Amino acid sequence: MPPEDRPDPVALLEQDDVGRLPELLPIRYFRMLQSPFTFYRGAASIMACDLQGTPNSGIQTRICGDAHLLNFGAFGTPERRFVFDVNDFDETTVGAWEWDIKRLATSFEIAGRFLKLRGADARDAVLTCARSYRERMLAFAEEHVLDVWYARVDEDVIADLVSAAEQRSIAAQQSDVHLWPSVGTRPDGSLVVADKPPKVFHPPDSDAYEELVRTLFRAYERSIVPERRAVFERFTFADAAYKVVGVGSVGTRCSIALFTAAPGDMLWLQVKEARASVYERYVPSGYANHGERVVIGQHLLQTASDLFLGWANAADGHAFYVRQLRDMKTSPNIEEMSAGELKRYASACGWALARAHAKASGKAAQIAGYLGRGDAFDRSLVRFADAYADQNESDYQALVAARADGRIVAAANGAFPEPQRGDKAKNGAGSKIFES
């Protein structure tokens, strides 16, 4: 049972809205209202509030902060090897390692319900996730420091964890043209990002926005190491536009920027606003710049990080981090998973999270000692996930009621201002940029 003084979940979401772009908030709520599963993706702040009051071992480590199952995926390392790992660090901070594994395990219970699996199958996925995490942590506790640091879920490990069909789903490179932003041309022949509202659009005052982005990238250059700066300097800024991403991030200032080195030689970078972690209200991160917090957390937790990962403060005071838009990145298609596939995916995620915690903290032995060799931890996590999935459904219904009462507004396309770019740019087909 939740405590009597538990905050109103919708009020916590409304606190998240402060400082976001108001025209995008209806999209955020529209996406969260699709199901309890999508609600959970955007409700990290609600769970953070609940988790910080739960018992834990007292062992602190760097945590991902939002370790639900869709924040794992495959991507290419700078050495062009394909690995599977955690891939979202917006909420990273120092906290209890239990918070991450509880959020991950619960996401599998909620996913099982979303897929309409038998209750036993959903619980089996949660149990597998917990067991994988515990057994890998026990193994890491016996390894040398550098062996833990270099451990990775690469092609060989993925092959052991999942079937050939799942490998094609999880590890397929996202090189298809339709997955990339569209590019158009200005009258002078220079390239421009084509607007496709509500996902990609230029703000009304595009000139001021462009100058803000240019200033941000000048600051960003100072955050990356010299040899990578030398590569970045070979590209020239072409254009930037807002891009709506994810569920929990909707409403934050997220942009894509196009750089070119020669005709056909393009670099796409994603610029994401770095706001305070959802745990910041309970465990201060110690970082004045949240872009730096995200980047440092990613370097510590991830097997290998993006070649262009860096951070900067914009002239308007907002903090950002920068990474490649896509670099062999992909995420699993949960909606098509069978019970067996979900279980095997749970094993991969538990493995990756254990490696992240062991690598970032150097406390594998302490965490392993707490977990033990029996299955008591695994079974307790199944009970927690089942109970919190019920709570998540209740919170989801609270948001449904808030929409019915007019407290929040949800709309698939948000509320966009009229475009101001006129005929400055055309898409590849020569039609107007701001098509609906």
Domain range annotation of the chain: 9-175+333-404, 177-324
- Residue 145 tokens read as 């420091």
pLDDT in tens, 29-74: 999 999 999 999 999 999 999 999 899 999 999 999 999 999 998 8
371 vs 303, which has greater pLDDT?
371
Mean pLDDT of 23-34: 95
Output phi, psi for 65, to 5 deg. Answer: 95, -25
Mean pLDDT of 205-213: 88
Average pLDDT, the chain: 87
- Tell me the residue type at 237: F
Contact by Cβ (8 Å): 104, 347: no
Name the DSSP class of 418.
P
How high is the pLDDT of residue 287?
86
Angle formed by the axes of helices 44-51 and 97-114, nearest 10°: 130
Mean pLDDT of 339-359: 95
Length, in residues, of the chain: 436
Mean pLDDT of 214-228: 93
pLDDT beyond 80 at 119: yes
- Specify the pTM: 0.88
Q: Choose from 86-90, 182-186, 314-318 the range with maximum mean pLDDT.
A: 86-90
Mean pLDDT of 113-131: 97
Residue 317 Ramachandran class (φ > 0 left, ψ -120 to 50 alpha, else beta): left
- Residue 409 tokens read as 């507004």
CA distances from 155 to 158, 169, 212 (A): 5, 13, 41
pLDDT in tens, 252-272: 999 999 999 988 899 999 999
Which strands sit side by side in the sheet containing 319-324, from one edge to the other? 200-201, 236-243, 254-262, 265-273, 319-324, 310-313
3-state secondary structure 119-176: HHHHHHHHHHHHHHHHHHHHHHHCCCHHHHHHCCEEHHHHHHHCCHHHHHHHHCCCCC
